[in-house]
Structure 1
């Protein structure tokens, strides 16, 4: 991989890690993320394919990676190019869900979705609740279902998590979360000195 491409990917990872730490963990959006962040068991996979078929293949390759690396708990597939449009991203997500079933991964992995322009169905675009699923880049989170089920069993009222996030994001307001996303985008990769 050319050095410039590697630098770009590292920058995307730094920005995404900042989002996980500052937003997802820092504001309690996902109560299960802290443990995996601290264990360094989150894989950040920058997928630069722009064509749907190649992108779907790359997502399945990440599932295979998880199959072969049980120490990695979860993968964030990050798409810095090609899926900026929310509706195209939703098409990708739908096809990825279908492909997981076709490839025999139903019940093994599930997908969670994040996008810079995320908008819940039936909710106004500028509603702060959308920020619970907004991220610096279009991202598909591959989650091990068995581990998620274990985490949910040990969490009091897991069904309250989305309700809590809606309430919290609306209390804080869109400008608050927009600033967090901007801070994450400003995070800089520091190349190693030779």
Structure 2
């Protein structure tokens, strides 16, 4: 079960994030095998916070040329987006409390992702939809370095939305089978 979830997240990363180029910074670390995908077995917030703390420490302790980023899949909890969103507040508080702010940030992905001031079926939400609730730990320095070498990074969200709006129904079902059944 854990391996199949890890493979599903890996496939999403390859097909959607990299394949559709939603994150222009993901291909390089993926190609160099610098992305770790962890499947959490946590069933409550305390367990997940402990695991998140462990993974933040492990990421910061590893040389960036061995491990650049970590994705934690959370299949056993936080299935409702509002609960997931509430947990993100706890995760960010942990990041601050441990003194990791400025070194790491947490990017969020969820099967029911919904940006503020959007409707649930708004295409823009698909940019952050994933097969499971995910906590993506990103090194701040890696992000800063990537942004310095990318023209118009502020246009990435609108470009991604336009790209997703051009997809046919069949393509949407292919890329997001966990949403479009």
TM-score, normalised relative to structure 1: 0.87
Match of 1:159, SS? helix
Shift of 1:58: 0.6
Deviates more, 1:31-40 or 1:160-169: 160-169
In the TM superposition, residue 83 of structure 1 has moved relative to its aligned partner by 1.1
Stretches of structure 2 lacking an aligned partner (at least 5 in a row): none
Q: 1:179, CA displacement in angstroms? A: 2.6
- TM-aligned CA distance change 1:24 to 1:94, over 3 Å: same
Question: Which residue is equivalent to 1:149?
Answer: 144
Extract unaligned runs of 5+ from structure 1. 1-7, 184-194
Residue 43, structure 1, aligned to residue 36, structure 2 = yes
Distance 2:100 2:137 in 1: 11
Partner of 1:180: 175
1:32 and 1:56 map into 2 onto residues whose CA distance is 27
Contact 1:50 1:83 in 2 (8 A): no
Distance (Å, rounded) in 2 between the aligned partners of 1:156 and 1:103? 33
Distance of aligned partners of 1:151 and 1:88 in 2 relative to their CA distance in 1, 3 Å threshold: same
Query: Which residues in structure 2 correspond to 1:65-104 (within 5 Å)?
Result: 65-70=58-63, 71-104=66-99
Contact 1:56–1:92, Cα closer than 8 Å, also in 2:
no
> Is the 1:126–1:174 Cα contact (8 Å) retained in structure 2?
no
Q: Do structure 1's residue 120 and structure 2's residue 115 form an aligned pair?
A: yes
Alignment of 1:3-82 (within 5 A): 8-70=1-63, 71-82=66-77
Aligned with 1:182: secondary structure?
A: coil
Distance 1:98 1:177 in 2: 35
Offset at residue 175 of structure 1 (A): 5.8
Q: TM-score if structure 2 supplies the norm length?
A: 0.93
Higher relative contact order (CA 8 A, sep 6+): 1
Looking at structure 1, the residues matched to 131 and 172 of structure 2 have their Cα atoms a distance apart, in angstroms, of: 11
Q: CA RMSD in A?
A: 1.4
